[in-house]
């Protein structure tokens, strides 16, 4: 009886093929990934445990809806004036924190139909300059520029982002509490407060551990 070698040519070729294939450094997506348009409220294929667009949308949507329902806004005689006071970031993620208030303001301006008016305090330098030019006659004015018409705030809208982090060999866990307040400018009463919580966990590839 003829012995059959365990190293037949085709088996050997197959093993060699696997070897060569494994050793190659061909890339998974050599043509790249085309630009993918995504909704800001969905998690993309690039994600971390920090603050992301879907968190921003969820949190700010909850906040502007909540603000619209409070009596100080819903039943106000005339539209209350609101000034944005910068959010404090007490998380471990450096972020553009102004974006939270910017979206709440934009949503309220769009959806509240004039029930609340925001004052452009961050533009005061430009506004003052324009007023000075009107006062000096450099540009025309439709009203007496010497009369102060800049409005004072009825409320301040502000917030604070606080975080808790755990990092172990099992991964990283980040919890963020997004708390926002509407403060009465005259009395310092906190007339409204609401919050949202988001917790994320992730584990990096073992190559990074």
Partner 1 sequence: MKWVCWMIAGAVSLTAVSCATKPPEPAVVLTGNIMVDGPNATEHGPPRDKVLWEYRTAAAAMRQGKFDLAKRFLDDALTTLQAVYGPDSNARKSRGYFHAEAKKTFIGEPYERSMAYIYRGVLYWMEGELDNARACFRSAEVEDSDTANHAYAGDWVLPDYLDGLVTTKLGGAGSDALKRAQAGAKFVKLPPYNPKANVLIFLEFGPGPTKYATGQYSEELRFHVSPSVVTSAEFQVDGKEFPVAPTDDVWFQASTRGGRVMDHILANKAVFKTATDVAGNVALIGGGAALMSGGGRDATANEVGLGLLAAGVISKLFSAATTPEADVRSWDNLPRYLSFASLALSPGRHTVTVQFHDGVGQVLSNFTKTVTVDVPADGQDKVIFVSDQSLTPQTI
Choose between 20 and 143: whose C-beta lies nearer to partner 1.
20
> Nearest approach, Cβ of 141 to partner 1 (angstroms)?
31
Return residues touching partner 1 (CB under 8 A).
2-3, 5-9, 12-13, 15-17, 19-28, 30, 46-50, 88-95, 97, 163, 165, 167-169, 171-172, 202-209
Choose between 7 and 75: whose C-beta lies nearer to partner 1.
7
CA distance 11 to 79: 82
Write b or e for each residue in 47-86: b if 16 or more Cβ atoms lie within 10 A of its Cβ, otherwise e: eebebbebbbbebbebbbebbbeeebbeeeeeebebbbbe
Choose between 19 and 120: whose C-beta lies nearer to partner 1.
19
> Nearest approach, Cβ of 45 to partner 1 (angstroms)?
9
CA distance 63 to 183: 14
Choose between 8 and 135: whose C-beta lies nearer to partner 1.
8
CA distance 183 to 153: 10
CA distance 76 to 65: 16
> Nearest approach, Cβ of 30 to partner 1 (angstroms)?
7
């Amino acid at each position: 009886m003829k012995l059959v070698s365990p190293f037949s040519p085709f088996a050997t070729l197959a093993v060699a093929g696997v070897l060569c294939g494994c050793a190659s450094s061909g890339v998974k997506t050599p043509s790249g990934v085309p630009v993918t348009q995504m909704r800001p409220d969905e998690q993309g294929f690039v994600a971390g445990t920090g603050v992301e667009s879907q968190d921003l949308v969820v949190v700010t949507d909850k906040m502007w809806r909540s603000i619209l329902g409070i009596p100080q806004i819903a039943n106000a005689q005339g539209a209350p004036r609101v000034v944005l006071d910068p959010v404090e970031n007490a998380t471990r993620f450096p972020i553009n924190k102004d974006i939270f208030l910017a979206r709440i303001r934009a949503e309220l301006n769009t959806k509240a139909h004039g029930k609340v008016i925001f004052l452009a305090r961050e533009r005061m330098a430009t506004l003052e300059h324009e007023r000075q030019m009107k006062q000096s006659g450099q540009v025309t004015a439709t009203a007496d520029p010497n009369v102060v018409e800049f409005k004072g705030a009825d409320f301040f809208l502000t917030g604070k982002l606080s975080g808790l982090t755990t990092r172990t060999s099992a991964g990283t866990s980040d919890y963020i509490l997004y708390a926002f307040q509407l403060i009465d400018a005259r009395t310092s009463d906190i007339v409204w407060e609401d919050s949202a919580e988001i917790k994320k966990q992730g584990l990096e590839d073992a190559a990074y551990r």
